[in-house]
Amino acid sequence: VQLQASGGGLVQAGGSLRLSCLVSGRTLSACAVGWFRQAPGKEREFVGGISTTGEYKHYADPVQGRITIFRDIDRNTVYLQMNSLKTEDTAVYYCAVDPSTVGYVPRRVAAYIYWGKGTLVTVSS
C-alpha cells in the first residue's frame, strides 16, 4: 500500500487549501484513512479521518467546522478541504491508512499502518 499526499503550499491566513491523498494497493472501501499533521517541535496529531464505508467522519476539535474530508472512490483518493486557515495550522500534513478498523475512525497514530510522505502547509499572517 502506498500513499501520496499533495496539495500543500503557502497560503495567507483566512485562505483555503485542498489536500489530496492518492491511495494505491488497497481500495478505499477496505480501509479507514486519516489525516494527521506535525508542526515543528510538536508531536504528530490527528486532524480528521473517514471510515471504510465513508459513513463516518471524525474531525479534531482544533479544526472542527473548518475542514471537510471526502473521498472519490473511482480515483481512490481522499481529500482534506481546509478553510479559514490559521497560522497555527502550519505543519506537515500526512495521510495514513488503517486497513483493519471498521465502523469508526481511529484517532491514534499507532492505529495507522501505512503512511504517505507528507505535504507542507504554511499559513502566513
Chain position carrying cell 495567507:
12
Residue 46: other Cβ atoms inside 10 A: 22
pLDDT tens sequence for the chain (125 residues): 999 999 999 999 999 999 999 999 999 988 999 999 999 999 999 999 999 999 999 999 999 999 999 999 999 999 999 999 999 999 999 999 999 988 899 999 999 999 999 999 999 99
Residues 80 and 5: beta-carbon distance below 8 Å: no
4 to 22, 62, 112: CA distances (angstroms): 5, 24, 15
| pLDDT for 102 | 87
The residues pairing with 6 across neighbouring beta strands, listed in sequence order, are 20
| pLDDT for 103 | 86
